């Protein structure tokens, strides 16, 4: 399971405190890093993901840690088909929303996420794709380089989309192997988020450029973080 950085944790604590978040749905939970962190922080969390394989890995990861979380298979365009309850926060983290490629699908997903929020609830979206990181000089990037594990991204950017080729290298005494993976995702930036989320009915849309909640800056931001209020 990917570790959540201390900066991201501090950001989530700060936003959850400000909005008095007691329960949350991670609607693209993947292998469960945010479910793990939030349950440790005392938030009642539920998780869903489109992929059965991701959910299986998530359930294994959480049970190894002794954490009991309700998880369900769900497409985040149609959350109402599996979740009847409402939440103080819905999370869609680490570029998950960019797996949708059309305007119609994105508005459908944002409406579905909004419908799962209590009044005053918030949607949180995070991604590492920004005006700044899309520059050609970051096309080839060593994004993780730990003692046991390194991850390299090489990006091909086209008309409104990017293909991220991911090379994972495991290099410990116990494991020595490489894995490759590719994702083809839509490039969604600040103005498009504002327009999509407004169309989906969100009222206040805040866009930050980092976990320190600095304003999003096209010239220098490494992250694009959305906190949208129902
Ligand atoms: C980059 S991973 C991020 C996982 C996790 N949020 C994290 O931060 O590690 C993207 C996730 O989005 C999920 N996903 C993609 N399209 C989806 C959809 N339509 N509905 C729900 N989950 C989806 C994928 O299965 C995958 O687990």
Pocket test for ligand 1, best of 1, 24, 25, 28 (most atoms within 8 A of CB): 28
- 1 assigned to some structural domain: no
- Ligand 1 center from residue 30 Cα (angstroms): 5
Ligand 1 site residues, Cβ closer than 6 angstroms: 2, 28-30, 33, 49-51, 54, 75-77, 93-96, 99
The reported pLDDT for the residue numbered 143 is 87
Q: Which atom of ligand 1 is nearest to the CA of 91?
A: 6
Looking at residue 214, which CATH number applies to its domain?
3.40.50.150
Is 103 found in the same domain as 144? Answer: no
Residue ranges of the chain whose pLDDT lies below 70: 1
Mean pLDDT of the chain: 96
Clarify whether residues 121 and 197 are in a common domain: yes
Same domain, 47 and 119: yes
The pLDDT of residue 68 is 92
| pLDDT given for residue 126 in this prediction | 98
CA torsion sign for 157, 199, 193, 183 is negative
Q: Give the Å distance between the CA of 98 and the centre of ligand 1.
A: 9
Per the structure, the count of domains in the chain is: 2
Q: Which residues contact 43 (CB under 8 A, 6 or more apart)?
A: 16, 21, 22, 23, 24
Residues 6+ apart with CB under 8 A from 166: 151, 152, 153, 180, 181, 182, 183
Given the CA of residue 94, which atom of ligand 1 is nearest to it? Answer: 8
Q: Are 56 and 32 in contact (CB under 8 A)?
A: no
């Amino acid at each position: 399971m990917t570790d959540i950085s201390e900066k991201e944790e501090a950001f989530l604590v700060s936003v959850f405190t400000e909005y008095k978040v007691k329960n949350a749905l991670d609607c693209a939970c993947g292998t469960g890093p945010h479910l793990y962190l939030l349950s440790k922080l005392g938030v009642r969390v539920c998780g869903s993901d489109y992929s059965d394989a991701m959910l299986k890995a998530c359930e294994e990861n959480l049970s190894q840690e002794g954490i009991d979380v309700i998880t369900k298979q769900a497409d985040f365009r149609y959350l109402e088909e599996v979740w009847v309850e409402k939440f103080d926060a819905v999370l869609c983290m680490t570029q998950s929303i960019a797996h949708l490629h059309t305007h119609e699908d994105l508005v459908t997903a944002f409406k579905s996420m909004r419908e799962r929020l209590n009044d005053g609830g918030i949607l949180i979206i995070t991604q590492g794709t920004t005006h700044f990181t899309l520059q050609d000089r970051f096309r080839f990037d060593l994004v993780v380089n730990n003692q046991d594990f390194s991850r390299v991204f090489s990006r091909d950017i086209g008309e409104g989309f990017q293909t991220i080729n991911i090379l994972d290298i495991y290099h410990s005494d116990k494991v020595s192997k490489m894995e490759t993976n590719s994702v083809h995702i839509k490039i969604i930036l600040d103005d498009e988020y504002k327009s999509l989320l407004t169309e989906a009915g969100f009222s206040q849309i805040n866009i930050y450029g980092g976990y320190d909640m600095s304003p999003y800056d096209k010239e220098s931001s490494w992250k694009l973080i959305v906190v949208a209020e129902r």
